[in-house]
Amino acid sequence: MADFQGYLILFLIWLVSVIFVRTIISKTRSKSCLPPSPMALPIIGHLHLLAPIPHQSLHKLSTKYGPLMHILLGSVPCVVASSPEMAKEFLKTYESSFSNRPKTAAVDYLTYGSADFSFAPYGPYWKFMKKICMSELLSGRMLDQFLPVRREEIRQFLQFMMRKVNASEKVDVGGELVRLTNNVVSRMIMNQICSNDDDEAEEVRKLVQAIAELTGKFNLSDYIWFCKNLDLQGMKKKLKQVRDKFDTMMDRIIKEHEEARKRKEDGGDTVKDLLDILLDISADENSEMKLTRENIKAFILLDVRGQHFHLLPFGSGRRSCPGTTLALQVVQTSLAAMIQCFDWKVDGANGTVDMKEGPGLTLPRAHPLICTPVPRLNPFPSF
């Protein structure tokens, strides 16, 4: 009996040692495969190194650790590529392994459980939506059809500037360009204008701003594993408020579209907006995939070509921006009109433009650009 106990103890010691040594070997092996990394702190990993503006901090770290480095966002491992060559490796050579976007609690909730296109996992639904975007929603034919909308909105923008000239008033240039963009996109998507000065327009603007802020905000529960189910920042309540408001607005707009479609059924050749096309696809019994109400709402919610990997304003590869052609048409034409019609006198800072960057997903300015427009030529002589 004593012999048997001795053998059992020896066996257990052998088993524990084997497991222990194997774990150490596998850990060392997997670590040695990872790119260089700064020293991480327990729990928060490298989060403390990313303040105040993450892309600037990452650039600084890359000058020390090279164009490919490994960091921990709390408990989430992450690889950072910081040179054109490395970007090409991820976005072209090994593109198929990196075609998903990270999922955050805010985006997942706001998009009805990732039912949208921008954050959809790479798979059959994403492929279906990409095809619809390229062949219908944002196709060349569709963009040509909406040329009068873009022309009208740029005209309104220039007329607004002329009114400011006549009143000798300053302008928040960024704010007005956001208004121009929102108007073009919302007229294309659902035939609605956001610039009328009524309460509803203000409500929509606030909603868009709240969505942008919530999706760009750092949420502890996405990155620190033991905070996953603790809502320390009160995000859940804010997300629910915003999504409920959006939901009510969309239900009303969809109902209006459906009533208008019924009235039009007996003929008429009015231009379809993007929401009409999405409702057509969702009603089509033979469609390759069924589009749900939530897919449609989530698609609407979130609203240089990427071949030279030095400048990638629209990304590159299969997840690159499908709105590039539309965006370039609006950006180039608006910029040309702004430069052709006005000189822009910068307010304060000795007349220089303050290029300080603020935090956010789309690289906002730290401070608004306030200018006084000075007319070079009047595009509307009778105005």
- How far is the C-alpha of 124 from the C-alpha of 107, rounded, in Å? 20
- Cβ-in-10-Å burial (0-12, 13-18, 19+) of 197 comes to exposed
**Near ligand HEM in 172-201, by CB under 6 A:** 185
**Identified binder of ligand HEM from the candidate list 331, 336, 339, 374, rule CB under 6 A:** 331
**Identified binder of ligand HEM from the candidate list 117, 223, 309, 342, rule CB under 6 A:** 117
134 binds ligand HEM (CB under 6 A): no
Tokens 């009510």 belong to which residue?
Answer: 248
Strand partners, 171: 371
Q: Which span sits near ligand HEM by CB under 6 A: 172-180, 319-327, 332-340, 345-353? A: 319-327
User: Roughly what angle, to the nearest 10 degrees, separates helices 293-301 and 274-283?
Assistant: 160
Q: Which is nearer to ligand HEM, 127 or 164 (CB)?
A: 127
121 binds ligand HEM (CB under 6 A): no
124 binds ligand HEM (CB under 6 A): no
- How far is the C-alpha of 224 from the C-alpha of 22, rounded, in Å? 28
The amino acid occupying position 181 is T
- How far is the C-alpha of 181 from the C-alpha of 173, rounded, in Å? 12
Rg of the Cα atoms in the chain: 26
Q: Which is nearer to ligand HEM, 220 or 327 (CB)?
A: 327
Q: Which is nearer to ligand HEM, 37 or 116 (CB)?
A: 116
The DSSP line for 59-89 is HHHHHHH-SEEEEEETTEEEEEE-SHHHHHI
Q: Which is nearer to ligand HEM, 139 or 233 (CB)?
A: 139
Q: Which span sits near ligand HEM by CB under 6 A: 164-172, 219-227, 236-244, 316-324? A: 316-324
H/E segment holding residue 346: strand 342-346
Cβ atoms 71, 37 nearer than 8 A: yes
Q: List C-alpha distances in Å: 310 to 82, 101, 316.
A: 10, 21, 11
Provide the minimum distance between the beta carbon of 87 and ligand HEM in the complex, in angstroms, as a whole number. Answer: 10
Provide the minimum distance between the beta carbon of 68 and ligand HEM in the complex, in angstroms, as a whole number. Answer: 18
The amino acid occupying position 362 is T
Q: Which is nearer to ligand HEM, 220 or 291 (CB)?
A: 291
Please state the φ and ψ torsions of residue 72, each to the nearest 5 degrees: -115, 120
Q: Which is nearer to ligand HEM, 83 or 320 (CB)?
A: 320
Q: Which span sits near ligand HEM by CB under 6 A: 196-204, 313-321, 343-351, 371-379? A: 313-321
**Residue 321, marked binder:** yes
Q: Which span sits near ligand HEM by CB under 6 A: 79-87, 215-223, 314-322, 374-382? A: 314-322
Token digits of residue 184: 């073009």
Give the residues lining the site for ligand HEM (CB under 6 A). Answer: 117-118, 185, 313-316, 319-323, 326-327, 331
Which residues does the annotation place in the binding site for heme? 321
